[in-house]
C-alpha cells in the first residue's frame, strides 16, 4: 500500500492593477480666490486621487 498526498488546485489568479500611470483630469481651485491649489488625477486603476500643491484644502471647487 502506498500513501498519496492530495493537493488542492492552484487558486485562481486575481488580476491586481498597480498604480503605474496617472493623468490630471480636473483642476482643484480655492473657492474664494480661485487659485489652483491642486489637481485631481485619474490612475490606470480607475482610482481618483487629489494632488495638492501646498497641503490639503477644505474649501475647494473642482473645475
Higher-pLDDT residue of 26, 4: 26
Per-residue confidence (pLDDT) for residue 53, from 0 to 100: 96
Per-residue confidence (pLDDT) for residue 19, from 0 to 100: 84
* Cβ-contact 45, 55 below 8 angstroms: no
Per-residue confidence (pLDDT) for residue 32, from 0 to 100: 96
Per-residue confidence (pLDDT) for residue 10, from 0 to 100: 61
Per-residue three-class SS string for 27-47: EEEECCCCCEEEEEEEECCCC
pTM here? 0.69
As a whole number of angstroms, the distance between CA 38 and CA 50 comes to 7
**22-30 β-sheet, strand order:** 48-52, 36-43, 22-30, 60-62
How confident is the prediction for the chain on average, in pLDDT? 85
Amino acid at each position: 500500500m502506498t500513501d498519496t498526498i492530495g493537493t488542492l488546485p492552484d487558486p485562481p489568479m486575481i488580476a491586481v492593477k498597480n498604480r503605474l500611470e496617472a493623468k490630471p483630469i480636473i483642476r482643484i481651485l480655492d473657492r474664494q480666490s480661485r487659485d489652483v491649489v491642486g489637481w485631481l488625477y485619474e490612475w490606470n486603476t480607475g482610482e481618483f486621487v487629489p494632488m495638492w500643491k501646498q497641503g490639503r484644502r477644505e474649501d475647494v471647487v473642482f473645475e
